[in-house]
Amino acid sequence: MKRRSVIATLGALSIGAKASALEPGEVLKEPYKVAKKAIKADIVVVGGGTAGVVAALQAARAGRQTILVENGSQLGGTTTTGGVAYPGIFFAWGKQVISGIGWEMVQEAVALNDDTLPDFSIPHGKHHPRHQVRLNGQLYALLLEEKCVEAGVQIRFYETPTQVTPQKNGWLVETVGKGIMTQITCNQLIDCTGNAFVTSMAGYDVLREATTQPGSLMFEIGGYDFQSLDLKLIQARYQEAIKKGELDKPDFRNNIVGLLRSKGDNISHVLGADSTTSETHTVANIKGRMALLKTLRFLRTLPGCEKTKIIDVQNETAVRETYRIDGHYKVTHADYVTGKLFDDSVSYSYYPIDVHDENGVVPDHLKEGVVPTVPLRALVPKNSKNFLVAGRCVSSDRLANSALRVQASSMGMGQAAGAAAVLANMQNKTPLDVSMTDLRKLLEEHGAIVPGSQKG
């Protein structure tokens, strides 16, 4: 009895102590719990990157209830979070080949930042970056978000799927995020993760190369005058540091002069960079940052570079290649370089074959007049129903993929996948059963350029 009374007193003291610690206006929060929620949509897009935003916008603007699941904190992926703020090439041989929603957003970002478009009427020759549209990546992210909100796309940041289960007429997508587990029931599911992991989760085959292309950590350095540097000496010191094992040759493509000339930008190479899982992407981020830091310290030992400083570094290593789906059609290198037109071509792509390896990259340009296309079948995994992909995980061989992966092409695919999902949802069909006439019509109504059509 006595003991019970003591414990009760202690308890009261404890509560009293807590209560007395609160300042006016403060409240105690209940213990953190992971909430559960069940929601519905016509179309779910997983991945708010280059292709995913366009797919989601296309779906929402066509009047479908659309949810966009993004595991990061902003939209735009490679162009924004990855920092590759020059989203590919939209014009080929003097003519626009990729337009629609993607171009609309790029054009608005350029205008709002008083940037200028390259002159597309002047052939780029061996220097395709001359036709790259440079934009302000962070501004672009803001615009994407505004457009999604305006179109009624429900954005779910910080969430990632844990399971996708086929249902009688669609999918159950289970996601986990900060303090929430969500069950989303939808009719059509679009994998725009870039890594095809939703495809894999759904039970469809995905493929990858034994060795994938390196990723890149985008950054900017300054604090030196390139023209006044003793480049021969710097090159010699760089090679010496590599020989001693102080620096790794592939980190900056064995090209210290290139690094200094470009002041950073897209010069880093992170071998084996893989964004498929938190663990692999963590490794890629740490490798990229450590290489940069090590090289910065080295640069500051060089004559003329003593004051070298970091001006900007992206938050994560951008990744070029991971998994590709095993689709109803695999776009081959031969298809790509001959500009093969398919009966079900839904978008164009235009970029040189561009395989990066530990030595750098030597782009292989397309022959004059060639504009490759993407068939709808390459966006649909074999044996799937109510499922599409868009972006770099498009069904393709490695060489074709090295060109298809760039952002402009991914935007074209994103719009096509979004439109196919809309029609499939409205007509209660699976995407491959949608008529090409209807699909072309919907895409063109929303400004896209479709290969093989009268306008395209």
Partner 1 sequence: MIRLLIGILFILASAYDSAGQIRYFRTPTLPLKTDTTLAFLAVAEDSIANDTLFQMRSKEGFPVAYFRKIRTSVCFDNKCRLLKVTLFWNPTGRYLGYDLVKGEFLSKAEHKPFTLAEYERMSDVLADQFSPLATLAYAEIAPPKKPISKEEEVDGVSSATAKNVLDYVVEGAAYTTYKMWHVVYGPTQASVVALTEKSLSPEYVLALLESPDGSDKIWALNHSQGFVTSTPALQQKLVTFINGTNYNLTERAINALDTGPNSATWQAMLADNLTTKSYALQKLIVNKLKRVTSLDAQAKKSLAEGLKSPNSELVSTILDVFRQHNVADTETCRPIADLLISQNQFIAQKAFAYLEKLDLSDADIKAKLAQYAQRK
Where along the sequence are the contacts to partner 1 (CB under 8 A)? Answer: 60-63, 91, 96, 99-101, 103-104, 107, 111, 117, 119-122, 126-127, 130, 150-152, 226-227, 229-232, 235, 257, 261-262, 445-447
Alpha-carbon span 425 to 59, nearest angstrom: 10
Pairing of strands 66-70, 154-157: parallel
Residue 262 or 430: the one with the smaller Cβ distance to partner 1 is: 262
CB of residue 438 to partner 1, shortest distance in Å: 12
Residue 227 or 454: the one with the smaller Cβ distance to partner 1 is: 227
CB of residue 185 to partner 1, shortest distance in Å: 19
Residue 11 or 123: the one with the smaller Cβ distance to partner 1 is: 123
Question: Which among 89, 48, 72, 139 has a CA at the least distance from the CA of 414?
Answer: 48
Residue 61 or 356: the one with the smaller Cβ distance to partner 1 is: 61
Alpha-carbon span 269 to 240, nearest angstrom: 20
Structure tokens at 48: 């708010």
CB of residue 119 to partner 1, shortest distance in Å: 5
Residue 89 or 270: the one with the smaller Cβ distance to partner 1 is: 89
Question: Which among 169, 170, 156, 176 has a CA at the least distance from the CA of 72?
Answer: 156
Pairing of strands 160-167, 170-177: antiparallel
CB of residue 294 to partner 1, shortest distance in Å: 24
Alpha-carbon span 373 to 347, nearest angstrom: 6
CB of residue 226 to partner 1, shortest distance in Å: 6
Contact 133, 87 (CB under 8 A): yes
Residue 5 or 228: the one with the smaller Cβ distance to partner 1 is: 228
Structure tokens at 202: 């759904």
Question: Which among 158, 16, 15, 51 has a CA at the least distance from the CA of 419?
Answer: 51
Query: If 0-12 CB within 10 Å is exposed, 13-18 middle and 19+ buried, where does residue 151 land?
Result: middle
Residue 133 or 399: the one with the smaller Cβ distance to partner 1 is: 133
CB of residue 37 to partner 1, shortest distance in Å: 23
Alpha-carbon span 340 to 447, nearest angstrom: 22
- 168-188 burial, b for 16+ CB within 10 Å, e for fewer? eebbebbbbbeeeebebbbbb
Residue 257 or 341: the one with the smaller Cβ distance to partner 1 is: 257
Contact 189, 52 (CB under 8 A): no
CB of residue 340 to partner 1, shortest distance in Å: 25
Contact 270, 250 (CB under 8 A): no
Inter-axis angle of helices 100-112 and 50-61, nearest 10 = 110
Residue 123 or 179: the one with the smaller Cβ distance to partner 1 is: 123
CB of residue 101 to partner 1, shortest distance in Å: 8
CB of residue 174 to partner 1, shortest distance in Å: 26
